[in-house]
A = this chain, B = another copy of it.
Amino acid sequence: MKIACFLYPDFTTIDLVGPLSPWSHIPGVELEFVAANKGPMATDSRLSVLATHSLDSFTPNPDVIFVPGAGRPTFDAMQNDAFLDAIARAGAQAKWITSVCTGSLILGAAGLLEGYRAACHWYARPYLEKFGAIPDDRRVVIDRNRASGGGVTAGIDFGLRMAAEWVGEDTARLIELIMEYAPEPPFNTGRPELVDAQTLSIAKQMAAQIMPEELATIAAKRRGLLHLGA
């Protein structure tokens, strides 16, 4: 099984590494890390990673395409025609079209989510509608061959659910044990409904700086282009 992961500058490292953790335990999985250029790529955690293939050189017809999310860098990815075209091209043939966090907005910008339910980071989730997708607040959303995880750490849950789809639940249960995935969130504040009003207010102010209303404009423009092209 060939999985093509589409990377862009300053994407959120754990959006990618969360699902890689279970996937790398599946025998026969072949991973390609695809970006504008082969070589080092900065990520949000200050760890740089290596893209193994450029947009021109990845193996055609991957079985799975995967796009991680980001904060503001999502905007640049959503306006990068070469990047979106490569995703749309690979997605046209893929058995699974997948994302974590705001990666679903990028799939939307590539025209791959019209009429599909999708997950996204809690703050950015409403913007999915701009691409004709149906925002879904579950941590992992599977709608036909589209599968998406919610914000950031949801990538681990998403990755394990995909492992079960691909190699069966017995193997996925084993991988969950090997990964010692019995989480104990220290503060139980991982969803807006769980947190006090002040913390939520600060988080929303921070998010509004990262994901301002400008996103709606970018999305509308991109969707217009998609429909012109269709």
Contacts and interface: CB of A to CB of B under 8 A. Distances in A.
Nearest to A164: B186
Interface stretch (A75-83, A169-177, A222-230): A169-177
A21 interface: yes
Contacts of A151: 178-180
Interface residues of A, number: 66
A11 interface: no
Interface string A92-136: 000000000100000000000000000001100000000000000
Given A164-B187, A176-B190, A177-B200, 19 more contacts: A12-B21, A13-B21, A20-B47, A21-B153, A23-B45, A24-B45, A24-B46, A31-B47, A47-B50, A48-B49, A140-B186, A153-B181, A161-B186, A170-B199, A177-B195, A178-B203, A178-B207, A180-B190, A181-B190
Interface of A: 12-14, 16-18, 20-21, 23-24, 31, 33, 40, 44-50, 101, 121-122, 139-140, 150-154, 156-157, 160-161, 164, 169-170, 172-174, 176-192, 194-196, 199-200, 202-203, 206-207
